[in-house]
Amino acid sequence: MASAHPDLVCQDLTKDFDAFRAVDHVSFEVPQGSFFSILGPSGCGKTTLLRMIAGFQSPTGGDLRIKGKSMIGVPPNRRPVSMVFQHLALFPTMNIGDNVGFGLRQRGLAKAEIKTRVGEVLERVGLPGVSARRVDQLSGGQKQRVAIARCMVLEPDLLLLDEPLGALDLKLREHMKVELKSLQAAFNTTFVYITHDQSEALVMSDNIAVMNKGRFEQIGPPHAVYHAPDTPFVAGFVGEANKINATITAINGQMMTLATAGAEVKVQRAGADLAIGQDVQVFLRPEAIELLAADPGDALNVCRGVVDTVLFNGANSSVTIRDDRGGLLKVALPQTGSFASLRKGDTVFTRWQPDQARCYPATKG
Protein backbone atom coordinates (compact mmCIF):
# COMPACT_ATOMS: atom_id res chain seq x y z
CA MET A 1 0.00 0.00 0.00
CA ALA A 2 2.97 2.33 -0.47
CA SER A 3 1.85 5.66 -1.87
CA ALA A 4 3.89 8.42 -3.46
CA HIS A 5 2.14 11.05 -1.36
CA PRO A 6 0.78 9.58 1.84
CA ASP A 7 -0.94 12.11 4.10
CA LEU A 8 -0.36 9.97 7.15
CA VAL A 9 2.48 7.58 7.93
CA CYS A 10 2.66 5.64 11.20
CA GLN A 11 5.74 3.59 11.89
CA ASP A 12 5.91 1.13 14.76
CA LEU A 13 3.50 3.32 16.68
CA THR A 14 3.12 1.96 20.21
CA LYS A 15 1.20 3.02 23.31
CA ASP A 16 1.64 1.51 26.76
CA PHE A 17 -0.58 2.27 29.72
CA ASP A 18 1.77 1.11 32.50
CA ALA A 19 2.31 -2.58 31.79
CA PHE A 20 -0.59 -2.80 29.32
CA ARG A 21 0.22 -2.35 25.62
CA ALA A 22 -2.87 -0.84 23.99
CA VAL A 23 -1.26 -0.20 20.57
CA ASP A 24 1.54 -2.52 19.55
CA HIS A 25 4.00 -1.52 16.81
CA VAL A 26 1.41 -0.44 14.28
CA SER A 27 2.74 0.64 10.85
CA PHE A 28 0.68 1.93 7.95
CA GLU A 29 0.27 4.77 5.54
CA VAL A 30 -2.79 6.53 4.18
CA PRO A 31 -2.69 7.99 0.66
CA GLN A 32 -3.94 11.53 0.12
CA GLY A 33 -7.65 11.79 -0.57
CA SER A 34 -8.51 8.26 0.50
CA PHE A 35 -10.96 6.80 3.02
CA PHE A 36 -9.11 4.64 5.53
CA SER A 37 -10.98 2.68 8.20
CA ILE A 38 -9.60 1.09 11.32
CA LEU A 39 -11.94 -1.79 12.13
CA GLY A 40 -11.83 -3.89 15.26
CA PRO A 41 -13.71 -5.08 18.33
CA SER A 42 -14.22 -3.06 21.48
CA GLY A 43 -10.97 -2.60 23.39
CA CYS A 44 -8.61 -3.43 20.49
CA GLY A 45 -6.95 0.01 20.65
CA LYS A 46 -8.73 1.97 17.87
CA THR A 47 -9.53 5.04 19.95
CA THR A 48 -6.05 5.13 21.46
CA LEU A 49 -4.57 5.05 17.96
CA LEU A 50 -6.88 7.81 16.72
CA ARG A 51 -6.09 9.93 19.78
CA MET A 52 -2.39 9.59 19.07
CA ILE A 53 -2.97 10.81 15.50
CA ALA A 54 -5.01 13.75 16.85
CA GLY A 55 -2.34 14.52 19.45
CA PHE A 56 -4.52 13.92 22.54
CA GLN A 57 -2.30 11.04 23.57
CA SER A 58 1.46 10.75 23.11
CA PRO A 59 2.96 7.51 21.80
CA THR A 60 5.31 5.45 23.94
CA GLY A 61 7.30 4.60 20.81
CA GLY A 62 7.41 4.88 17.03
CA ASP A 63 6.85 7.76 14.66
CA LEU A 64 3.80 9.49 13.22
CA ARG A 65 4.11 11.83 10.21
CA ILE A 66 1.49 13.96 8.54
CA LYS A 67 2.40 15.33 5.10
CA GLY A 68 5.96 14.18 5.72
CA LYS A 69 6.39 16.03 9.06
CA SER A 70 6.83 14.18 12.34
CA MET A 71 4.05 15.02 14.77
CA ILE A 72 5.80 13.69 17.85
CA GLY A 73 5.56 16.40 20.51
CA VAL A 74 3.30 18.63 18.36
CA PRO A 75 0.15 19.67 20.33
CA PRO A 76 -3.32 18.91 18.86
CA ASN A 77 -4.05 22.52 17.85
CA ARG A 78 -0.82 22.63 15.80
CA ARG A 79 -1.68 19.54 13.78
CA PRO A 80 -3.42 19.80 10.39
CA VAL A 81 -6.10 17.50 11.73
CA SER A 82 -9.74 17.80 12.73
CA MET A 83 -11.92 15.29 14.51
CA VAL A 84 -15.61 14.31 14.48
CA PHE A 85 -16.68 12.63 17.72
CA GLN A 86 -19.38 10.01 18.18
CA HIS A 87 -21.65 12.45 19.99
CA LEU A 88 -20.68 15.22 17.55
CA ALA A 89 -20.05 17.74 20.38
CA LEU A 90 -22.07 20.52 18.74
CA PHE A 91 -22.68 23.52 21.03
CA PRO A 92 -26.42 23.49 21.81
CA THR A 93 -26.60 27.16 22.74
CA MET A 94 -25.05 28.39 19.48
CA ASN A 95 -26.79 28.52 16.13
CA ILE A 96 -25.49 26.41 13.24
CA GLY A 97 -23.43 29.22 11.72
CA ASP A 98 -21.67 29.91 15.01
CA ASN A 99 -21.04 26.20 15.54
CA VAL A 100 -19.47 25.85 12.10
CA GLY A 101 -17.49 29.10 12.42
CA PHE A 102 -16.20 28.30 15.92
CA GLY A 103 -12.71 27.18 14.86
CA LEU A 104 -12.30 30.11 12.47
CA ARG A 105 -13.18 32.57 15.27
CA GLN A 106 -10.58 30.93 17.47
CA ARG A 107 -8.07 31.46 14.69
CA GLY A 108 -8.96 35.15 14.71
CA LEU A 109 -10.39 35.47 11.19
CA ALA A 110 -12.46 38.53 10.29
CA LYS A 111 -16.25 38.25 10.72
CA ALA A 112 -17.00 38.75 7.03
CA GLU A 113 -14.59 36.02 5.97
CA ILE A 114 -15.98 33.62 8.57
CA LYS A 115 -19.49 34.25 7.26
CA THR A 116 -18.45 33.55 3.67
CA ARG A 117 -16.54 30.39 4.51
CA VAL A 118 -19.31 29.06 6.76
CA GLY A 119 -21.88 29.69 4.01
CA GLU A 120 -19.69 27.91 1.46
CA VAL A 121 -19.02 24.84 3.57
CA LEU A 122 -22.69 24.49 4.57
CA GLU A 123 -23.56 24.55 0.91
CA ARG A 124 -20.98 21.85 0.17
CA VAL A 125 -22.48 19.55 2.79
CA GLY A 126 -25.93 20.14 1.32
CA LEU A 127 -27.28 22.46 4.03
CA PRO A 128 -27.49 25.92 2.47
CA GLY A 129 -29.28 28.59 4.45
CA VAL A 130 -29.36 26.85 7.86
CA SER A 131 -26.89 29.21 9.60
CA ALA A 132 -29.49 30.90 11.78
CA ARG A 133 -31.14 27.67 12.95
CA ARG A 134 -30.58 26.11 16.34
CA VAL A 135 -28.93 22.68 16.67
CA ASP A 136 -32.14 21.14 18.04
CA GLN A 137 -34.02 22.18 14.89
CA LEU A 138 -31.99 19.76 12.76
CA SER A 139 -32.46 16.04 12.11
CA GLY A 140 -29.84 13.49 13.18
CA GLY A 141 -28.42 13.29 9.65
CA GLN A 142 -28.27 17.08 9.33
CA LYS A 143 -26.39 17.31 12.64
CA GLN A 144 -23.83 14.86 11.26
CA ARG A 145 -23.31 17.06 8.25
CA VAL A 146 -22.94 20.14 10.46
CA ALA A 147 -20.30 18.33 12.53
CA ILE A 148 -18.40 17.54 9.32
CA ALA A 149 -18.81 21.10 8.04
CA ARG A 150 -17.42 22.44 11.32
CA CYS A 151 -14.27 20.38 10.76
CA MET A 152 -13.96 20.86 7.00
CA VAL A 153 -14.21 24.66 7.24
CA LEU A 154 -10.75 24.49 8.86
CA GLU A 155 -9.40 22.74 5.74
CA PRO A 156 -7.59 19.96 7.60
CA ASP A 157 -5.24 17.55 5.82
CA LEU A 158 -6.81 14.72 7.80
CA LEU A 159 -10.31 14.28 9.12
CA LEU A 160 -10.49 11.78 11.97
CA LEU A 161 -13.88 10.22 12.67
CA ASP A 162 -14.52 8.35 15.91
CA GLU A 163 -17.54 6.08 15.29
CA PRO A 164 -19.71 9.06 14.27
CA LEU A 165 -22.64 6.86 13.19
CA GLY A 166 -22.73 4.83 16.41
CA ALA A 167 -25.59 6.77 18.00
CA LEU A 168 -27.88 6.75 14.95
CA ASP A 169 -30.76 4.41 14.26
CA LEU A 170 -30.25 1.69 11.65
CA LYS A 171 -32.01 3.40 8.74
CA LEU A 172 -30.17 6.69 9.17
CA ARG A 173 -26.88 4.86 9.63
CA GLU A 174 -27.36 3.09 6.29
CA HIS A 175 -28.08 6.43 4.62
CA MET A 176 -25.15 8.22 6.29
CA LYS A 177 -22.65 5.58 5.16
CA VAL A 178 -23.32 6.54 1.55
CA GLU A 179 -23.39 10.22 2.40
CA LEU A 180 -20.10 10.19 4.32
CA LYS A 181 -18.38 8.40 1.48
CA SER A 182 -19.62 10.91 -1.09
CA LEU A 183 -18.70 13.87 1.16
CA GLN A 184 -15.20 12.46 1.50
CA ALA A 185 -14.90 12.13 -2.27
CA ALA A 186 -16.32 15.63 -2.85
CA PHE A 187 -13.87 17.26 -0.41
CA ASN A 188 -11.05 14.97 -1.59
CA THR A 189 -9.77 15.01 1.98
CA THR A 190 -8.14 12.05 3.70
CA PHE A 191 -10.57 10.46 6.17
CA VAL A 192 -9.42 8.13 8.96
CA TYR A 193 -12.49 6.42 10.37
CA ILE A 194 -12.69 4.07 13.32
CA THR A 195 -15.48 1.61 13.78
CA HIS A 196 -16.34 -1.82 15.16
CA ASP A 197 -19.01 -2.22 12.46
CA GLN A 198 -17.70 -4.20 9.50
CA SER A 199 -20.51 -3.14 7.18
CA GLU A 200 -19.59 0.54 7.66
CA ALA A 201 -15.95 -0.19 6.88
CA LEU A 202 -16.78 -2.36 3.85
CA VAL A 203 -19.11 0.20 2.29
CA MET A 204 -17.07 3.36 2.76
CA SER A 205 -13.38 2.52 2.73
CA ASP A 206 -10.69 2.53 0.10
CA ASN A 207 -8.61 0.57 2.58
CA ILE A 208 -9.41 -1.15 5.85
CA ALA A 209 -7.01 -2.00 8.66
CA VAL A 210 -8.37 -4.82 10.79
CA MET A 211 -7.15 -4.38 14.36
CA ASN A 212 -6.98 -6.99 17.10
CA LYS A 213 -5.32 -6.68 20.52
CA GLY A 214 -3.37 -3.57 19.60
CA ARG A 215 -2.05 -4.88 16.28
CA PHE A 216 -3.07 -4.63 12.65
CA GLU A 217 -3.82 -8.13 11.33
CA GLN A 218 -4.43 -7.01 7.75
CA ILE A 219 -4.56 -3.83 5.69
CA GLY A 220 -6.24 -3.91 2.32
CA PRO A 221 -9.18 -2.88 0.16
CA PRO A 222 -12.59 -4.14 1.32
CA HIS A 223 -12.85 -6.97 -1.22
CA ALA A 224 -9.41 -8.34 -0.24
CA VAL A 225 -10.15 -8.19 3.47
CA TYR A 226 -13.47 -9.95 2.87
CA HIS A 227 -12.50 -12.53 0.24
CA ALA A 228 -8.85 -13.14 1.10
CA PRO A 229 -8.50 -12.69 4.86
CA ASP A 230 -4.89 -13.13 6.01
CA THR A 231 -5.74 -14.52 9.44
CA PRO A 232 -8.52 -16.50 11.16
CA PHE A 233 -9.34 -13.39 13.19
CA VAL A 234 -9.97 -11.34 10.03
CA ALA A 235 -11.97 -14.18 8.46
CA GLY A 236 -14.17 -14.42 11.56
CA PHE A 237 -14.54 -10.70 12.29
CA VAL A 238 -15.26 -9.35 8.80
CA GLY A 239 -18.45 -10.96 7.54
CA GLU A 240 -19.93 -14.26 8.58
CA ALA A 241 -18.03 -17.51 8.29
CA ASN A 242 -18.55 -21.19 9.01
CA LYS A 243 -15.59 -22.51 10.96
CA ILE A 244 -14.70 -26.18 10.48
CA ASN A 245 -11.95 -27.95 12.42
CA ALA A 246 -9.99 -30.43 10.30
CA THR A 247 -6.72 -32.31 9.91
CA ILE A 248 -4.66 -32.41 6.70
CA THR A 249 -4.45 -35.99 5.40
CA ALA A 250 -2.93 -35.44 1.94
CA ILE A 251 -1.43 -32.68 -0.20
CA ASN A 252 -1.37 -33.07 -3.97
CA GLY A 253 -0.03 -30.03 -5.77
CA GLN A 254 -2.44 -27.18 -5.03
CA MET A 255 -5.12 -29.42 -3.50
CA MET A 256 -5.29 -30.58 0.11
CA THR A 257 -7.45 -33.35 1.49
CA LEU A 258 -8.76 -32.77 5.00
CA ALA A 259 -10.50 -35.03 7.49
CA THR A 260 -13.33 -33.25 9.31
CA ALA A 261 -15.72 -34.64 11.91
CA GLY A 262 -18.28 -35.10 9.15
CA ALA A 263 -16.49 -36.19 6.01
CA GLU A 264 -13.40 -35.83 3.89
CA VAL A 265 -13.19 -32.46 2.11
CA LYS A 266 -10.83 -30.92 -0.41
CA VAL A 267 -9.58 -27.34 -0.23
CA GLN A 268 -7.17 -25.34 -2.28
CA ARG A 269 -3.76 -25.09 -0.70
CA ALA A 270 -2.97 -21.71 0.79
CA GLY A 271 0.32 -20.82 2.45
CA ALA A 272 3.48 -22.89 2.52
CA ASP A 273 3.22 -23.46 6.26
CA LEU A 274 0.66 -26.28 6.00
CA ALA A 275 1.77 -29.93 6.23
CA ILE A 276 0.24 -33.40 6.38
CA GLY A 277 -0.94 -34.29 9.88
CA GLN A 278 -1.48 -30.66 10.84
CA ASP A 279 -4.70 -29.46 12.51
CA VAL A 280 -6.32 -26.59 10.63
CA GLN A 281 -9.37 -24.35 10.70
CA VAL A 282 -11.36 -23.97 7.51
CA PHE A 283 -13.40 -20.78 7.01
CA LEU A 284 -16.26 -20.83 4.56
CA ARG A 285 -18.60 -17.92 3.76
CA PRO A 286 -22.35 -18.74 3.90
CA GLU A 287 -22.79 -17.43 0.35
CA ALA A 288 -20.08 -19.80 -0.94
CA ILE A 289 -22.25 -22.82 -0.17
CA GLU A 290 -24.68 -24.10 -2.74
CA LEU A 291 -27.81 -26.12 -1.96
CA LEU A 292 -28.82 -29.07 -4.11
CA ALA A 293 -32.02 -31.09 -4.00
CA ALA A 294 -30.29 -34.37 -4.89
CA ASP A 295 -26.83 -35.90 -4.45
CA PRO A 296 -24.81 -34.96 -7.56
CA GLY A 297 -22.83 -38.22 -7.37
CA ASP A 298 -19.07 -37.98 -7.30
CA ALA A 299 -18.84 -34.19 -6.84
CA LEU A 300 -16.38 -32.69 -4.35
CA ASN A 301 -17.36 -31.37 -0.93
CA VAL A 302 -20.95 -32.55 -1.01
CA CYS A 303 -22.71 -33.30 2.25
CA ARG A 304 -26.23 -34.45 3.05
CA GLY A 305 -28.06 -32.50 5.71
CA VAL A 306 -31.40 -31.50 7.16
CA VAL A 307 -32.64 -27.91 7.37
CA ASP A 308 -32.49 -26.76 10.98
CA THR A 309 -33.59 -23.10 10.73
CA VAL A 310 -34.66 -20.70 7.99
CA LEU A 311 -34.41 -17.00 8.81
CA PHE A 312 -35.98 -14.79 6.18
CA ASN A 313 -34.26 -11.41 5.98
CA GLY A 314 -35.51 -9.80 2.80
CA ALA A 315 -33.33 -10.44 -0.23
CA ASN A 316 -31.82 -13.56 1.34
CA SER A 317 -32.63 -16.25 3.80
CA SER A 318 -30.10 -17.43 6.32
CA VAL A 319 -30.41 -21.19 6.51
CA THR A 320 -28.68 -23.57 8.91
CA ILE A 321 -28.17 -27.14 7.78
CA ARG A 322 -27.43 -29.93 10.24
CA ASP A 323 -25.28 -32.61 8.64
CA ASP A 324 -25.53 -36.35 9.40
CA ARG A 325 -23.04 -36.05 12.26
CA GLY A 326 -24.63 -33.04 13.90
CA GLY A 327 -22.39 -30.29 12.47
CA LEU A 328 -24.12 -27.02 11.58
CA LEU A 329 -23.46 -25.12 8.37
CA LYS A 330 -24.81 -21.64 7.72
CA VAL A 331 -25.91 -20.97 4.14
CA ALA A 332 -27.03 -17.67 2.57
CA LEU A 333 -29.83 -18.41 0.17
CA PRO A 334 -31.16 -15.94 -2.41
CA GLN A 335 -34.95 -15.64 -2.39
CA THR A 336 -35.29 -16.30 -6.09
CA GLY A 337 -34.63 -19.93 -6.91
CA SER A 338 -35.90 -23.37 -6.30
CA PHE A 339 -35.34 -23.28 -2.53
CA ALA A 340 -37.57 -20.26 -1.85
CA SER A 341 -40.00 -22.44 0.10
CA LEU A 342 -37.40 -24.37 2.08
CA ARG A 343 -38.62 -25.57 5.51
CA LYS A 344 -37.18 -26.98 8.71
CA GLY A 345 -36.78 -30.74 8.34
CA ASP A 346 -36.25 -30.76 4.55
CA THR A 347 -33.36 -32.91 3.35
CA VAL A 348 -30.83 -31.11 1.13
CA PHE A 349 -27.25 -31.47 -0.09
CA THR A 350 -24.63 -28.78 0.41
CA ARG A 351 -21.74 -28.25 -1.97
CA TRP A 352 -18.81 -25.82 -2.04
CA GLN A 353 -15.79 -25.40 -4.27
CA PRO A 354 -12.25 -26.05 -2.96
CA ASP A 355 -11.14 -22.50 -3.83
CA GLN A 356 -13.95 -20.97 -1.77
CA ALA A 357 -12.52 -22.07 1.58
CA ARG A 358 -9.69 -20.40 3.50
CA CYS A 359 -7.51 -22.68 5.54
CA TYR A 360 -5.33 -21.64 8.51
CA PRO A 361 -3.17 -23.52 11.00
CA ALA A 362 -5.35 -24.27 14.05
CA THR A 363 -4.87 -21.83 16.90
CA LYS A 364 -4.98 -22.86 20.51
CA GLY A 365 -7.97 -21.78 22.55
For 361: left if phi > 0, alpha if psi spans -120 to 50, otherwise beta; the answer is beta
Give the one residue of 34, 37, 47, 317 binding ligand ATP; rule: CB under 6 A. Answer: 47
| Closest CB to ligand ATP among residues 210, 284 | 210
The Cβ-side half-sphere exposure at 297, using a 13 Å CA radius, reads 1
Binding to ligand ATP (CB under 6 A) within 111-150 occurs at none
Sign of CA dihedral 299, 302, 305, 308: negative
Residue 166 binds ligand ATP, judged by CB under 6 A = no
Q: How far is the CB of 47 from ligand ATP (least distance, A)?
A: 3
Residues in 192-211 at the binding interface with ligand ATP, rule: CB under 6 A: 196
What is d(CA 351, CA 349) in angstroms, rounded to the nearest whole number? 7
Residue type at 228 in one-letter notation? A
Q: Nearer to ligand ATP by C-beta: 191 or 360?
A: 191
* Residue of the chain from 13, 35, 39, 48 that contacts ligand ATP (CB under 6 A): 48
Residue 19 in the binding site for ligand ATP (CB under 6 A): no
Q: Could you give the 3-state DSSP secondary structure of residue 138?
A: coil
Sheet containing 158-162: give its strands across. Answer: 81-84, 158-162, 190-195, 35-39, 207-212, 215-220
The answer to whether 38 contacts ligand ATP (rule: CB under 6 A) is no
Q: Taken in order 47, 51, 56, 59, is the CA torsion positive or negative?
A: positive
Would you say 195 or 317 has its CB closer to ligand ATP?
A: 195
Q: How far apart are CA 281 and CA 261, in angstroms?
A: 12
Q: Give the residue, chosen from 40, 97, 229, 232, that forms a contact with ligand ATP under the rule CB under 6 A.
A: 40
Distances (CA, A) of 324 to 168, 195, 241, 297, 306: 44, 40, 20, 17, 8
Tell me the residue nearest to ligand ATP as measured from the CB: 47
The answer to whether 22 contacts ligand ATP (rule: CB under 6 A) is yes
| Residue (153 or 211) nearer to ligand ATP, CB | 211
- Minimum distance of ligand ATP from residue 20's CB (angstroms): 6
When binding is defined by CB under 6 A, the residue of 3, 5, 12, 17 that contacts ligand ATP is 17
7, 28, 46, 96: which one binds ligand ATP (CB under 6 A): 46
| Residues making contact with ligand ATP (CB under 6 A) | 17, 20, 22, 40, 42-48, 196
